[in-house]
């Protein structure tokens, strides 16, 4: 373990990411699964981005946000999976402090941006279904760019604030991260300095980035449901709901797995189980998003043909 002397303390200058070493009998199988998952995720999301850019039928606010989401998911999965695959090959993956903080910055920033972007997409569906006569006026190009820009800036800015505080922590004890990437809790747990302030700042920023977007998304779908149920024909109700069913599925999957990972207690006996739940929103969500949208959206199907 590489260390540097700081006064009377020995400071850790690198971390060892344990990943799934506690279950070595399935490491080979997990490597193959994650490798296939990574290339499938990249292919699916890149295909959607190409379709959104090149097909004129997809030049609408809904698909503009979908293209942003696919680009975000591509970056998001590339922040986690390549290093995870490397840890399977090396058996003992070592990462520097700065490399760990950089991974955390991109992971957190992209996750925060996704929360805001999903809210922007729900607002788009709310305007389309509840205020269809004003849709083209409200959801113009400038509004779409502003919503997407604010989503990216909010996520990356909040992540930059937390990440800028992390180098102030002192790490002088164990340097093994019991996770498959540099998440906040397992990294801060290794610090031998006072972490109350950074934990408080992180809690406030995480609450601001998740709770308001989640509530706004929930309110949007309550209004959408109320409007759809008032449509007299069953065909009209089905058509209206089908335009937002894909997004609702993605929102449920994303927020559902986030709540399981970060809100439920984490006893030591469930450490590996929480890694599995973390895989759901870091690996599986970027994989299934393009599948959900391509299978349920007729315009995407036509563009693919």
CATH number at residue 64: 1.20.1070.10
User: Cβ of 24: how many Cβ atoms within 10 Å?
Assistant: 9
Q: Is residue 73 part of a domain?
A: yes
Q: Is residue 170 part of a domain?
A: yes
Distance separating alpha carbons of residues 172 and 190, to the nearest angstrom: 8
Structural domain count, the chain: 1
Distances in Å between the alpha carbon of 244 and those of 6, 49, 221, 251, 285?
56, 19, 9, 11, 17
Q: Is residue 2 part of a domain?
A: no
**What pLDDT digit, counting tens, does each position of 68-86 carry?**
999 999 998 999 888 888 8
In sequence order, the β-bridge partners of residue 10 are: 5
Q: Is residue 74 part of a domain?
A: yes
Nearest to 213 by CA among 280, 127, 68, 115: 115
**What pLDDT digit, counting tens, does each position of 81-137 carry?**
888 888 788 776 788 888 899 999 999 999 999 999 999 999 999 998 889 899 999
Q: Is residue 35 part of a domain?
A: yes
Per the rule left: phi > 0, alpha: psi between -120 and 50, beta: everything else, 7 is left
**What pLDDT digit, counting tens, does each position of 15-64 carry?**
888 877 767 677 788 889 999 999 999 998 998 899 889 888 888 898 89
Q: Is residue 88 part of a domain?
A: yes
Q: Is residue 7 part of a domain?
A: no
Residue 8: is its pLDDT beyond 60? no
Question: In this structure, are residues 213 and 115 in contact, taking their beta carbons and an 8 Å threshold?
Answer: yes
Q: Is residue 70 part of a domain?
A: yes
Confidence bin at 295 (pLDDT 50/70/90): low
Residue 10: is its pLDDT beyond 70? no
Q: Which domain holds residue 255?
A: 12-302
**What pLDDT digit, counting tens, does each position of 144-183 carry?**
999 999 999 999 999 999 999 998 888 887 888 888 888 8
């Amino acid at each position: 373990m590489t260390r540097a002397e700081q006064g009377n303390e020995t400071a850790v200058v690198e971390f060892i990411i344990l990943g799934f070493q506690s279950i070595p009998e399935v490491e080979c199988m997990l490597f193959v699964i994650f490798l296939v998952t990574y290339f499938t995720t990249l292919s699916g999301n890149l295909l959607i981005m190409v379709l959104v850019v090149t097909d004129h039928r997809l030049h609408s606010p809904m698909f503009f946000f979908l293209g942003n989401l696919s680009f975000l998911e591509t970056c998001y999965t590339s922040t986690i999976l390549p290093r995870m695959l490397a840890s399977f090959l090396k058996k003992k993956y070592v990462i520097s402090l700065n490399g760990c903080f950089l991974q955390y910055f991109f992971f957190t920033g992209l996750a925060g941006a996704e929360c805001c972007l999903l809210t922007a997409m729900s607002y788009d569906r709310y305007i389309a279904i509840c205020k269809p006569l004003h849709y083209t006026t409200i959801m113009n190009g400038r509004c779409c760019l502003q919503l997407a820009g604010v989503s990216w800036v909010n996520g990356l800015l909040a992540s930059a604030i937390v990440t800028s505080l992390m180098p102030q922590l002192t790490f002088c004890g164990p340097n093994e991260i019991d996770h498959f990437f540099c998440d906040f809790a397992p990294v801060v747990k290794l610090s031998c300095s006072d972490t109350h302030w950074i934990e408080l700042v992180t809690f406030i920023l995480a609450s601001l980035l998740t709770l308001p977007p989640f509530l706004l998304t929930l309110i949007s779908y309550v209004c959408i449901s109320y409007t759809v149920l008032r449509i007299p024909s069953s065909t009209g109700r089905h058509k209206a709901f089908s335009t937002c069913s894909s997004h609702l599925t993605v929102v449920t999957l994303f927020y559902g797995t986030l709540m399981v990972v970060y809100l439920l207690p984490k006893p030591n006996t469930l450490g590996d189980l929480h890694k599995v739940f973390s895989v759901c929103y870091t690996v599986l969500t970027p994989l299934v998003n393009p599948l959900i949208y391509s299978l349920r959206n007729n315009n995407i199907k036509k563009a693919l043909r």
